[in-house]
A and B are shown apart, each in its own frame.
Chain A
Amino acid sequence: MSDRLKVVSLDADFNHIRALSGDAVLPYLQDESKLRGSASLVLLPKNEGEVAAIMREASSKGISVTVSAHRTGVVGGAVPSEGWVMSLEGIDVPIGVGRDDLGFYIQSGPCLSLRKLEDLLSSERFDGLRDLTSSAVEELKGSGRHILLVDPTETNASLGANVACNSSGAKSYRYGPMRDWVRRIRVVLPDGRLLDLTRGEHRARAYSIVIEDGDSEKILDIPSHRFNRDVKNSAGIYAEEGMDPIDLFIGSEGILGTITLLELRLVPWRRTLSSMAFFPDDCSAIGFVRALRSIDMPIDLIEYIDSNGMRLVLRSRDEGSLFHGMPDPPIRSPSAVIFDLPYDERVDEFLNDLDGLLSSHGSSLSHTWCAHEERERGRFRSLRHAVPEAVFAYIANRKLSHPGIHKMGTDMSVPQDGMGEMLKHHLGVLKESGLEYVMFGHLGDGHPHIELLIDDMHQFAVAEGVLRELASKVVELGGSTMAEHGTGRLKKEFLRLMYSESDLEEMVRLKKALDPAWVLNPGVMLEAPE
């Protein structure tokens, strides 16, 4: 394994790239954070060469470029502050299938959405895909259905964005985040040159990597901070002594380079039983999560929706705005826990164990919904997404009368032994603030999301203080203030809670080495140096 990365240059004519201006730019100025920015031009590259041409032009002229895909992010990462938007929406096709010792993998352009990848894999129709290794497409066809195991909740998000932010989602409880499933990426650097990185082919020499371009070479210093791997964590740049350089670009939110091609590992699909259990109160549900974690059952995910979240979802349904057709839960004003298990010969054994476990936490097998057919499981997935969807709708509605409002929520994780203390602290702070909130998400991973339902600018100001307090406690407990959504533009303050000034300076130095003009995604994660 080498510590030397070779860059190559690509030819493409900047002047032939499709561009949008005027009102056509407007849709590109906002993402799901509801933060709004500005840009003079949107560029729509069709291929890697055009991405390189845009970055060459931008870096030579010092024009900011904000990379955009489907704009599903919630921390404002795709919201431009000035300059150009480079939307990768035209580089969205699956390219090929390969196979190595670890199984099948799929190669794709960065803007293919998770949903489209799922559809492609479930249809098992791979017409037009190339064999990346001998007869791989035919072999995959004959090997039964395969899936991408990591399943970030927002399926409209692009694969590239998921890699750039090292997304995780519910199944990271068992299978880890996106990083672990990335086999290869191609990255256009901020100056327009290209890096091709396959996992396992390179390794840093301690904390440095050499970038070679013909006869010239440049040494990149990897930051020396300890990246917290004890919890779900997407805060800051991943760094580790002797690391694989591919990991510098995974999770760095696109500030070091733009992913133009990726290869993701697939695994054989297996039948799964998704269940949603209802509880009379939040304490019972949280107790059940704790109990579920402690027993010997091969659980893929454990998700939680508190009683406020369930109320919000049911209210949205009753008002006719969302979730039409969702039945009434079997308990009034419930909290809910969603969990997945393999649906195989062990299911009777699981059901017996669950019967006792549910009963001892105020629920029962009858107070559940379950699904094992794929269509029904799809509905469950929509339910898992129901709370954030209802929150987005709520905030978008309030924003009409208070344009300064944007989404105010947590994406914080703590080690399992800190969960009890975190919940006690957070609920106390929230109660004292008088703000309405919902709690939901990856409780099994020590990573519940709290979303504040803000009505006006006064509450917005209160919410800022609340989030700071919650973040400080999480850091005190050894957790991360940005578990999976990234830092973006909205959470840079929290990065300072997790990293020292010198840690941040090292991250800035790394970015500066790759992006001297500081043109790529400026304002995302790191502040430009003075």
Chain B
Amino acid sequence: MRILLMVKQVPDTNTNLLDESKFSRKGPMVLNPQCEYALDAAAALKGDGRVVAFTMGPSKARHALFRCLELGADLAYHLCDSDFAGSDVWATANTLSKAIMEFEPEFDIILCGGHAADAETGLLPTMLAAALGIPVINRCRGIRYEGGSLIANRERNGIPSELIVPSKSLVSMIQGSNVHRLPSLKDLQDARAKQIKTLDRGSLGLRKDECGASGSFTKVDAVFAADHSREGIELVLDDTDTALDLVIDVFQGDER
């Protein structure tokens, strides 16, 4: 199976994501957790085929691609150019679609994470599918190859469903096996022999106004953490049973 994998490098969500009014890039950066699920699915589906990973980002985004190479990808493309800076989700989808059409037009499926831990729009999979003119199945919890077909699992409002994935479509993943895979030193050794190809604006044949901030419809003005804190109240109760009842009620949604 020929699988394309779209990934993103994001700030580690265990650290402070925000630096004043923008996402911090100073702390540790990691492969977006939901992209890990897509990577997991790609490695499981690959068989005798090939997994090719793509990312768009600054030079250190290579580390995210390298993790893909360690955990099953065979080749990676790094879309890296200062002209790509400031891309909104549309410009990103447009740029990625150009890279796919130019360099890896033959594929059976495209996998990506459902949303990124930093921007959290969740729009990239749909926009990329639209730019490529292919079907999209979003927010899948699993994908398997069975009886000659690819079958994706999804759950909406607690109701599970299974969908047959048409050939040449895009599937976004929001859950994986939950067993964290770790590369071995052999995987690391092998990954170091694999290639990460760098693509700039020129190699994609994009004009300046088709990518980056100038090719974007939206611009992030500021990012801030929502304040969900509420005033607490202190209740002094006569006995433990009453207190326990109250705690149970609160957990069950009765806030009194």
List the interface of chain A (C-beta within 8 A of B). 119, 122-125, 273, 275, 277, 325-327, 330, 347-348, 351, 354-355, 364-376, 378-379
Please name the residue on chain B nearest to A278 by beta carbon: B184
- What B residues does A327 contact at CB under 8 A? 179-182
- Given A124-B27, A275-B185, A348 and B179 contact (CB-CB distance below 8 Å): no
Q: B28 touches which one: A125, A326, A373 (CB < 8 A)?
A: A373
Q: Name the residue of chain A whose CB is nearest to the CB of B28.
A: A374
* Docked-complex contact A123 and B185, CB < 8 angstroms: no
Asked, given contacts A122-B15, A347-B192, whether A325 binds B180 with beta carbons under 8 Å apart, the answer is yes
For chain B, the count of residues having a C-beta within 8 Å of the partner chain is: 26
Q: CB-defined interface of B112-127 with A at 8 Å, one 1/0 digit per residue? A: 0000000000000000
A122 touching B184 in the complex, CB below 8 Å, given contacts A325-B178, A351-B189 = no
| Chain A residue nearest to B33 in the complex (CB) | A375
With beta carbons under 8 angstroms apart, the residue of A366, A372, A379 that contacts B184 is: A366
Question: Which chain A residue shows the least CB distance to B182?
Answer: A369
Query: Is A376 within 8 A of B184, CB to CB?
Result: no
- List chain A residues, Cβ under 8 A from B67: 373
Q: Report the minimum CB–CB distance from B30 to chain A (whole Å).
A: 5
A119 and B189 within 8 A (CB): no
Q: Given that A125-B16, A373-B63, A375-B30 are known contacts, is A351 also in contact with B182, CB under 8 Å in the complex?
A: no
Give B64's nearest chain A residue, CB to CB. A373
Number of A-B contacts defined by CB within 8 Å: 77
What residues on A are CB-neighbors of B181 within 8 Å? 327
Q: Which chain A residues lie closer than 8 Å to B31 at the CB level? A: 373
B249 contacts chain A at the CB level, 8 A cutoff: no
Chain B residues with Cβ under 8 A from A348's Cβ? 189, 192
| Residue numbers in A under 8 Å from B12 (CB-CB) | 374-375
Contact B16 A370 (CB under 8 A): no
8 nearest CB pairs, A to B: A374-B28, A369-B182, A365-B186, A365-B185, A366-B186, A368-B185, A375-B30, A124-B26
Query: What is the CB-to-nearest-CB distance from A392 to chain B, in angstroms, rounded to a whole number?
Result: 23
Residue numbers in A under 8 Å from B186 (CB-CB): 364-366, 368
Hey, which chain A residues are within 8 Å of B27, CB to CB?
A: 122-124
The answer to whether A330 touches B15 (Cβ under 8 A) is no
Complex CA distance for A347 and B189, rounded to whole angstroms: 9
**In-complex Cβ contact of B30 among A277, A366, A373 (8 A):** A373
5 inter-chain pairs at a CB distance below 8 angstroms, sorted by A residue, are A122-B27, A326-B180, A369-B183, A372-B188, A376-B182
- Quick one: closest A residue to B178, CB to CB? A325
Bound Cα distance from A347 to B192, whole angstroms: 10
B180 touches A379 (CB 8 A): yes
| 156-215 of chain B: CB within 8 A of chain A | 178-189, 192
Given A123-B27, A273-B188, 15 extra CB contacts under 8 A? A119-B16, A325-B178, A348-B192, A351-B185, A351-B188, A365-B185, A368-B184, A369-B182, A369-B183, A370-B182, A371-B182, A374-B30, A375-B12, A376-B182, A378-B14
Q: Does B108 contact A (CB under 8 A)?
A: no
List the B side residues contacting A354 at CB < 8 Å.
Answer: 185
Closest to B19 in A: A125
> A123 with B15: in contact, given A347-B192, A365-B185, A368-B186 (CB under 8 Å)?
yes
Question: Which residues, 1 to 48 on B, are CB-close (under 8 Å) to A?
Answer: 12, 14-16, 19, 24, 26-28, 30-31
Tell whether, in the assembled complex, residue A123 and residue B14 are in contact, meaning their CB atoms are under 8 Å apart. Answer: no
- Could you say which residues of chain A place their CB within 8 Å of the CB of B178? 325
Query: What's the nearest-Cβ distance from chain B to residue A358, in Å?
Result: 8
Q: How far is A365 from B12 in the complex, measured between Cα atoms in Å?
A: 28
CB-CB nearest in chain B for A373: B30
Q: Do residues A367 and B184 form an inter-chain contact, with CB atoms below 8 A? A: yes
B182→A123 contact, CB < 8 A: no
User: From A377, which residue of chain B is reached at the shortest CB distance?
Assistant: B28
- List residues of chain A with CB within 8 A of the CB of B185: 275, 277, 351, 354, 365-366, 368, 370
Evaluate contact between B179 and A123: CB separation under 8 angstroms. Answer: no
Closest to A350 in B: B185
CB distance from B69 to the nearest CB of A (A): 13
- Given contacts A325-B180, A327-B179, A370-B182, whether A122 and B28 have CB atoms under 8 Å apart is yes
